Amino acid sequence: MKISLTRRYRFAASHRLHTAKLSEEENKRVYGKCSNPYGHGHNYVLEVTMTGPVDSATGMIANLSELDPFVQREVIEPFDQKFLNEEIPEFRAQVATTENVSREIFRRLKSFPSARLERVRIEETSKNSFEITDELEVRA
């Protein structure tokens, strides 16, 4: 039997989809209006799914009084109300697509000590959501 806990969080951030590997014209062609030099923002919904054995004493996979501050410290505080391209060092070297944001959040959360990180899902808009489940993908 496998039991999972999914917890939902929210943060607002802006980003610009742009890479120095492409010309301005190519960036506009590939990223369209998302390559706007001033960036654009989203109200992200982050879902974090943990799995693990149910602790016989507490009856829980992960104690929310431990998980919530961990996610707050590792993701919400650094990302909320930030321009990701400039304020998150990892996005100075890679395009701040939500695929890459998902990978970075997974990397930051995988060290949670009490349960195993199973999945990170980010809803960028009502039409776009991204999900990462494979820890090996994060290392690529």
Q: Can you give the residue ranges of every domain in the chain?
A: 4-139
User: pTM above 0.85?
Assistant: yes
Q: Distance (Å, rounded) from C-alpha 76 to C-alpha 86?
A: 16
CA-angle at 109, arms to 136 and 114, nearest 5°: 105
Q: Distance (Å, rounded) from C-alpha 138 to C-alpha 110?
A: 10
- Note whether 101 and 41 are within 8 A (CB): no
Class of domain 4-139: alpha beta
Each residue's pLDDT, cut to its tens digit, for the chain (140 residues) gives 789 999 999 999 999 999 999 999 999 999 999 999 999 999 999 999 999 999 999 999 999 999 999 999 999 999 999 999 999 999 998 999 999 999 999 999 999 998 999 999 999 999 999 999 965 544 44
User: Read out DSSP for 18-80?
Assistant: --TTS-HHHHHHHHGGGG-TT-EEEEEEEEEEEE-PPPTTT--SS-HHHHHHHHIIIIIHHHT
